[in-house]
Amino acid sequence: MIGVPLTHILFLSTALFFIGVFGFLTRRNMITMLMSAELMLNSVNINFIAFNKYLFGHQLDGVFFTLFLIAIAAAEAAVAIAIIINIYRNYQSIDIDDADTLKF
């Protein structure tokens, strides 16, 4: 296959990862934060696929891991969103900074 070298893809995934981190650290909206977390997970997925494809083509571990990862991410998202909805019930807001009654 014509040469997109591994490093490019790693760049992409790493960039994605740090974008996710950035979003998670800066976004005030819980849903957005959750999305940023998903973004980080996806960068991980890209990593797995890429490594699997480029380095260890004879096996499928990475791919499997990715599949599991997607599933789990979905589950996590489900629970997280449920919780966030509950937050909204209690706080009438999903701004992360409003939910800071527990402190010190």
Site residues, other proteins (CB under 8 A): 17, 20-21, 24-26, 30, 33-34, 37, 40-41, 43-44, 47-48, 51-52, 55-56, 59, 61-62, 64-65, 68-69, 72, 75-76, 79-80, 82-84, 86-87, 89-91, 96-97, 99-104
Q: State both tokens at 13.
A: 């995934």
Least distance from C-beta 31 to other proteins, angstroms? 11
Q: State both tokens at 71.
A: 């599933």
- Beta-carbon neighbour count of residue 87 at 10 Å? 17
1 vs 25, which CB is nearer to other proteins? Answer: 25
12 vs 96, which CB is nearer to other proteins? Answer: 96
CB burial readout 17-36, b (16+ within 10 A) else e: beebeebbeeeeebeebbeb
